[in-house]
Amino acid sequence: MTMREYMLGNVAIARGLLEGGVQVIAGYPGTPSSEIIDTLASREDRDYHIEWSVNEKVAMEVAVGAAWTGVRSVVTMKHVGLNVAADPFMTLAYAGTKGGLIAIVADDPSCHSSQNEQDTRRYAQFALVPCFDPSTPQEAKDMLPYAFEFSEKFEIPVIFRPTTRISHGKSDIELGEIPVEKAVPHFEKLLDRWVMLPKNARPRHTHILSIQQAMEDELAESPWNSLEIKPGAKMGVIGSGIASVYAKEALRELGFEASFLKIGTYPVPRKLILELLSTVDTVLIFEELEPVVEEQVRILAQEAGLEVSVLGKEGGFVSREGELDVSAFLEALRKAFDLDIEPDSGKVPLELAPRPPSLCAGCSHRATFYSMKKVFGKDAIYPSDIGCYTLGIQSGTVETTLCMGSSISIASGLYHAGEKRPICCSIGDSTFFHTGMNSLLNAVFNKANITVTILDNRITAMTGHQPNPGVGFTVTGEPTVEVSLAELCKAMGAGFVTVVDPYNLEETQEAFKAAKEFEGTAVVIAKQPCVISGKRAGIKRVPYIVDPEKCEGCKQCVKFGCPAIEFDEENKCAVITSLCSGCGVCAQICKFDAIREVKR
């Protein structure tokens, strides 16, 4: 009997890894990929190793070590994570693998939770490795066992590229069997492959080039690429990944007759593309982000001498930015063929009230930023980093955000460029463990006169509350070493290191004053559990209330920016709502003693 289950896309991906016989899983949390490891870690019948690594490079290397023993391994990350892991990955393409190795790299078109929209298919081209591009959660699940087999057949790592709509969409998934038998690990000492000296790297480059055609031929025959030729149709459509689903749906709704090629793997299936091009006058390429398929189609048409009009991102028929949908394809058809199509016909626009992102009520980062701004002032420079604390931009204390761990290095660069204004950067605990440690070491070594604020909320909050080396437990909940940020910073040579409770404004501001006056690299660690994970852990605080008799309507508590504090214009009085988490910072800000704990 066929088993089916309604699943989140990332849960379906996790299931696909199980059905593929995965034995080692490593990754770094990053939306939209995080739930894959969270799902696998929550299983009680685990017969595999699973970990959140300190960054994507380390996670990649863990997966590589496992694959070199002949077992199947996977590394998970979001698209920008591959930038961090590119160093080992590019050379791994030369060295190859023994066991199957899949790099799951989740792309985020439209930047829902990312600092850019980069297209991971470009990395696959760059590294000369295959890329699997699922169009539905079901296909994503089904692709993974195949991807493991493909990786082992050609002894090469492969990229698996879900996008946000695949990872976070939900679907009814048909389940397969989970294998019982798995490979027995054995590391074979192949020095000519595992040691990338120049004399070994050169022939491995030749090797990877030599297998490109064989990989392309096999992928072309896989179920992930499919061609439907409509007899007599002079119009062709090529859809890639999830965009192919939108295109197919739009064609079906319109009753538009067109031959259709769905592409789900890279290198692209050139034989199928040429077969399509030989039957049509015009082809419309529909793919998200970069014109990866489009470029290949144009090259193939030119090489084959086919006078086919190729339409896509060149000419503005399809956007090179953001997510695509059915309406985007209808608009592309309208532009391409001057058709009378109304892309939004039949749709009722949904207008939502503006809801700018904000730090949670009672978030300790808000209190830290408040004290930071009080001490360093408006004229100081505030480099920051990647995390939920990036929302400190509303506090005027986030003035740069580039990539994980960059805040300290940018602060150092500002100082060494000769900037005379005070520099106070901020970085989260997990981000510090990720790549901030090297940046701090560099700042200390090169004598940067800056203040580094580590926002230690005891968890990796933005991506879903995953553990990091500072919390004392692993992804499976097992106790482990709890790394002390303070001792770590001291060991790296920071001359000033102090730990404060950001809910205590006086203590925190005194620490920032001392750090500002210190000559050299100073570190202030603002330590307070995330309000969400704290509640889950059973931390209870008494909420606060405003005494309307004492409130003078100065709005200082409102300006603090906590979502739990509102202002009653009719009564000219601040009001604290049920969102209050009991941090008590607003009571310390109030000059009129108008805010107090709720009496039990």
What pTM does this model have? 0.88
Is-contact 480 552, C-beta < 8 A? no
Q: Taking a C-beta distance cutoff of 8 angstroms, is the pair 432, 443 a contact?
A: no
Structure confidence at residue 1 (pLDDT): 64
Across the chain, what does the average pLDDT equal? 92
Which pLDDT belongs to residue 166? 93
For residue 314, the surrounding DSSP H or E stretch is none
The band of 132, judged by pLDDT with boundaries at 50, 70 and 90, is very high
* Phi-psi domain of 556 (left: phi exceeds 0; alpha: psi -120 through 50; beta: other): alpha
Lowest mean pLDDT among 191-200, 203-212, 317-326, 341-350: 341-350
- Residue 350 binned pLDDT confidence (cut-offs 50, 70, 90): low
DSSP code for 29: -
**274: enclosing H helix or E strand:** helix 270-277
SS3 category, 582: coil
Are residues 538 and 465 in contact, defined by beta-carbon separation less than 8 angstroms? no
State the pLDDT confidence band at 346, using cuts at 50, 70 and 90: very low
Mean pLDDT within 61-66: 94
Binding site, by residue number, is 551, 554, 557, 562, 580, 583, 586, 590
Coil, helix or strand for 93?
helix
In the predicted model, what is the mean pLDDT of residues 444-470?
A: 92
In percent, the amount of the chain with pLDDT more than 90 equals: 83
Annotated binding-site members for [4Fe-4S] cluster = 551, 554, 557, 562, 580, 583, 586, 590
Residue 354 has pLDDT above 90, yes or no: no
Distance in angstroms (rounded) separating the CA atoms of residues 95 and 560: 54
Give 273-331 pLDDT, tens digit per residue: 999 999 999 999 999 999 999 999 999 999 999 999 999 999 899 999 999 989 899 98
The whole-number pLDDT of residue 339 equals: 75
How many Cα atoms sit within 13 Å of 372 on the Cβ side? 34
How does pLDDT run across 10-49, given as a tens digit for each residue? 999 999 999 999 999 999 999 999 999 999 999 999 999 9
Place of tokens 């969409």: 169
DSSP 220: H
Give the helix/strand (H/E) hosting 47. none
| DSSP element (H, E) containing 461 | none
Selection from 319, 330, 318 nearest residue 256 by Cα: 330
Are the C-beta atoms of 310 and 332 separated by less than 8 Å?
no
pLDDT > 60? residue 237: yes
* Alpha carbon separation from 364 to 178, 304, 384, 527 (Å, rounded): 44, 63, 16, 8
What pLDDT is attached to residue 335?
85
Helix, strand, coil shares of the chain as percentages rounded to 5? Answer: 40, 20, 45
Asked if residue 241 has pLDDT above 70, the reply is: yes
| Confidence tier at 349 by pLDDT (50, 70, 90) | low
406 pLDDT more than 70: yes
Q: What is the pLDDT of residue 214?
A: 96
Predicted confidence at residue 343, as pLDDT, reads 55
The Cα 136–Cα 600 span in angstroms is: 52
Domains detected in the chain: 3-186 (3.40.50.970), 225-337 (3.40.50.920), 364-473+481-537 (3.40.50.970), 544-597 (3.30.70.20)
Write down the residue that tokens 């379906």 correspond to. 12
- How does pLDDT run across 542-593, given as a tens digit for each residue? 999 999 999 999 999 999 999 999 999 989 999 999 999 999 999 999 999 9
Q: Which residues pair with 566 in a beta bridge?
A: 575
Question: In angstroms, rounded to a whole number, what is the distance separating the alpha carbons of residues 393 and 408?
Answer: 17
Residue 356 has pLDDT above 80, yes or no: no
